[in-house]
Amino acid sequence: MIRVREQRDMTTHGEEEEATDRFDVLFENASGYLSDEDCKAIREAYLFAKGAHEGQFRKSGEPFIMHPVEVAIILSDLRMDSDTLRAAVLHDTVEDTEYTLDDVRQKFGDTVAELVDGVTKINSLEIESLSHAQVNNLRKMLMAMSNDIRVIVIKLADRLHNMRTLMALREDRRIFKARETMEIYAPLANRLGMGSIKWELEDLSFFYLEPAKYQQVQKMVNETREAREKYLAQAMDALREELDRIGLANAKIYGRPKHLYSIYQKMKKKDKGFSEIYDLIGLRIIVDSIPECYSSLGAVHNLWHPITGRFKDYIAMPKFNMYQSLHTTVIGPAARPLEIQIRTEEMHRMNEYGVAAHWRYKEGAAKDRAARSFDEKLTWLREMLDWQQETSDPQEFMESLKAGLFESEVFCFTPKGEVISLCARSTPLDFAYAIHTEVGNHCVGAKVNGSIVPLTYTLQMGDRVEILTQKNASPSRDWLSIVNTPRARSKIRAHFAKITRNDDLERGRDYIVREARKNGVTLSSGKMAPAFAEVASSLNYKNVDEMYVAVGAGNLSPKQVMHRAVRILNKTSVEEAVPVEATVEHVSFPDVTPRGEGKRRRKKSAHNKTGVVVKGLDDVFVRLSHCCNPLPGDDIIGFITRGRGVSVHRADCPNAEDLRRNPERIIEVAWEGEIEAVYQVEIYIEAIDRLRLLQDIVMFLADSGVNIVSCTTTTHKDDIVEMRFVFEVSDLAIVNRILSDTKKIDGVFGASRVLPSKQQKDAGTKKK
């Protein structure tokens, strides 16, 4: 089915002619740097897309083909390659027409089809109120960027043209798109070094999000335009004369346009008036080489006095997006501040076009430099993906993504003088992991500028950092609250995930072996391996090892695993007409092993929802005694009461001693193989008293999925609190996890299950 954004009956000759004219602009741009064969391929893509979008119109009333052509024109201004331009022209055909991705692949090849597919997937994503499915889509976008950065370059051009024509949408959609652009796409363009795209996206978003402030800033800029241009002309004449004097006659001098959103941000952040913004008036000098950059800087400072603290050398220390330039602010003519940027032609192209400049180099050293710059621009993306694959929480994912996109940076030095770029608020641990994973894992301390500092120290611009390591040292879980870079967080979590998994795996295997020995099951049988594999599959684990890990972590009962394995073995044995004992010896699971062919299995009583069966009786009321709250796996005994069925106690319950004085009323009971019941568990907690302690524990238990039946608390003079909780659970595997996680609550230092003692007698049991 064709999904058309908007169809209209009237299609004028003028509209079609306008579309053709705009393609002529694209063709002319492409002809300036691509081969005739490439231009021919672009024309073929255009004709295909034009036919596919026939009869489709945008909300602005333009033929729909205008949009992909305009996107391609933006990319041609960036000098993108032929595949990218063709994918841009075709990027809406799969989403909005009857043509499929296979159609595109068959006609234009795999590369163009993959680019179109990547852009189509991004188009289906909206950043507002991320669901788990949308988080996966956003991850796909980042992965597509990592695999082929041209996907996001096309998407940025697509978003830029949409922002230019945003007025055609409803107001709520305009605001949504503008906010999405400001929060995601403009920072992405900045991260990828695409300054020309970033500035326009920000100004357009600013126009829709803050229309009154936009108009105010624009008015102030327009009111001072004539005086500003006169001032710039005077400064350029003086600077040209000075550069000619030192032999830099080939240097180019331009007035540097200031973007409205940038002016507004500086006014807002620095709480300054319009006239106080230093870089409102600026010049840009473009020279042929790096030595000429510094020579030009000397000429500028010889001509005008520099303002202290306003010089930045981004050539020696590039920004996170590989931006390079010299920045200085001087007191120019008429004692007014004047900001000057100095860079080479190559730096200027890279600063304006970012990763898009990578495809402009065909051979030689320029290509190698562009390739290195390209790889460095993607380092942050790959590091972010390493960590973000580990979290499924949408809010956490979005916060980390925005932090990665917006984060300012700090430059620090190794003892050998190498520059390490980190995000602001980084710590020595972030520095250690930026050097190497092993340096971070074995870190025990740090020196900054020759002095010992804590690992929580916030690194400052220019700090000289030395990491102290020991071979036997290892990360602490507390480090996760100290580090601020995705790379460091990812490496720390990977370390503990590996350790925890190995420990859980060994522990789980041990639990299974013990359970097998307890019940006389022979694990060496050739049929046990496939039985365990079937059990793992039925429980939705990838393999047997993953099932062992779950057992070791307390998320799965070893009894449940053995019971399922025994059932599988018994079923196989019956089908093969082989006695069960030939495979499983002395299995003590009641009501599991068939009593012989033709015999019916014992029916569970309608009144029995405890998971306990009584030997020799089918229809009898059974209840679990509250004096000891027995759970599956506990040794139990049954006691025939007067008019209240059978009460079940733990075998070591103090009340059981009284019950045994009436042996004629003792009856054999056992746990069923498969249990679907609700059980009461009592736990004992010790903690140091503090505000909202009880509230935190109750909320934790509620979030764990248990039903709290009762709670008692006692606070002693030494501020030690004793608490007893009785709660109901249907999944016994979570009890151990609850006990473990309860100890992590602030102030809690002990949590255990309450077991019967000789001092605890149930008065009700004595009366039976």
In the block, tokens 């241009």 appear at: 229
Angle between helical axes of 345-353 and 364-388 (0-180°, round to 10):
30
User: Known catalytic residue: 95?
Assistant: yes
Residue 678's Cβ-count burial label (10 Å; 0-12, 13-18, 19+) is middle
Task: Round to the nearest angstrom and report the end-to-end CA distance of the chain.
Answer: 75
Cα separation, 243 vs 251, whole angstroms: 8
Sequence-separated (6 or more) residues with CB below 8 Å from residue 694: 711, 713, 723
Strand 636-640 to strand 666-667: parallel, antiparallel, or no bridges (unpaired)? antiparallel
Residues counted in the chain: 768
Strand partners, 753: 683
Contact 97, 52 (CB under 8 A): yes
Cα separation, 433 vs 413, whole angstroms: 14
Kindly state the helix (H) or strand (E) to which residue 729 belongs, with its residue range: strand 720-729
- Return the ∠ at Cα 188 (arms to 182 and 190), rounded to 5°: 90
Cα separation, 272 vs 266, whole angstroms: 8
Residue of 95, 180, 242, 591 with catalytic role = 95
Residue 160's Cβ-count burial label (10 Å; 0-12, 13-18, 19+) is buried
Please state whether 312 falls in left (phi above 0), alpha (psi between -120 and 50) or beta. beta
Give the 3-state secondary structure percentages of the chain, helix then strand then coil, rounded to 5. Answer: 50, 15, 35
Residue of 83, 96, 352, 504 with catalytic role = 96
Cα separation, 128 vs 142, whole angstroms: 17
Per-residue CA distances from 653 to 656, 711, 712, 728 (Å):
5, 22, 22, 20
Which positions are catalytic?
A: 95-96
